[in-house]
Amino acid sequence: MKGDGVAIVMLGPPGAGKGTQARKLSDSLKLPHISTGDMLRESLKNQTELGKKAQQYMNSGALVPDALVDAIVAERLDREDCSKGFILDGYPRTLAQAQALQPLLDQKHRKVLAIGIEIEDSVLVQRLSSRWSCPKCGKVYNAQLEPGKRNGRCDECFEELVQRKDDTEAVVAKRLQVYHNNTQPLIRHYQDQRAYCNVTGDQPIDRVFEDVKKLIENHK
Ligand code: AMP
């Protein structure tokens, strides 16, 4: 599979499987997986200045202000491991973020491929409320579809699985609304740049991954 030198942007609503697919791609392409949600959760856990500022937004399902997120992404993309390309998951999430990202990509002559995972809202609500993840490696499980082999523990690190605070019904509704208002317009933005392709998210993880790999192989 080709993927070198490309900035892959995973787009899609919360619960579509962006993180799961980004992790699989990262393993397969040997490119770093950069998830702003994971970076922010880590800052929150460590109660850094950024974490304290982001907390109220994250807990209510709102977006953290662009300037804060743009700064952590710019710093992250500057690291050596991004020199051959990277996979962005959860960023950009607003048009302003896409505009902040563009000059960073231009500087490095990096082309974007935005991969949208498309899926109905009704499926997402169901998925998110049964989503559990490993606090150590971030692997995601689904109590119904992908329960894991070790009854409540991560198959790989044996850590006890946890449920995200923002996966409650009320916060999920808010996150979906934020997605439709702020993030969905990015589809058009990347379509206009001829840099958007999509896969159907409502199918087994490995089938979605096959589709994602084909898109990358066909991308010139
Ligand atoms: P995620 O894990 O991508 O679903 O992100 C969890 C939460 O982190 C979101 O609901 C936002 O509060 C915050 N967040 C993550 N990425 C961004 C971003 N690019 N812009 C603003 N807020 C973000």
Q: In the predicted model, is pLDDT for residue 197 greater than 70?
A: yes
Cβ < 6 A, ligand 1 pocket: 14, 36-37, 40, 57-58, 61-64, 69, 90-91, 93, 97, 166, 175
What are the residues whose beta carbons fall under 8 Å from the beta carbon of 140, sequence distance 6 or more?
Answer: 19, 20, 131, 132, 133, 146
Identify whether 52 is part of a domain. yes
- The pair of structure tokens assigned to 43 is 């800052």
Identify whether 87 is part of a domain. yes
For the chain, first and last CA: distance in Å?
12
The whole-angstrom separation of Cα 89 and Cα 158 is: 25
Identify whether 89 is part of a domain. yes
What pTM was estimated for this model as a whole?
A: 0.90
Identify whether 134 is part of a domain. no
What is the pairing mode between strands 131-133 and 140-142? Answer: antiparallel
- The pair of structure tokens assigned to 138 is 């971030």
What local confidence, expressed as pLDDT, does residue 129 receive? 85
Identify whether 212 is part of a domain. yes
For range 7-35, the mean pLDDT: 96
Angstrom distances, CA of residue 63 to CA of 20, 124, 183: 21, 18, 10
Identify whether 175 is part of a domain. no
Identify whether 97 is part of a domain. yes
In the residue annotation, 93 being an active-site residue is answered as: yes
pLDDT bracket for residue 142 (50, 70, 90): confident
Q: In the predicted model, is pLDDT for residue 220 greater than 80?
A: no
Give me the number of domains the chain comprises.
1
In the residue annotation, 127 being an active-site residue is answered as: no
Q: Catalytic residue among 76, 110, 164, 174, which?
A: 164
Residue 14 CA: which ligand 1 atom is closest?
A: 4
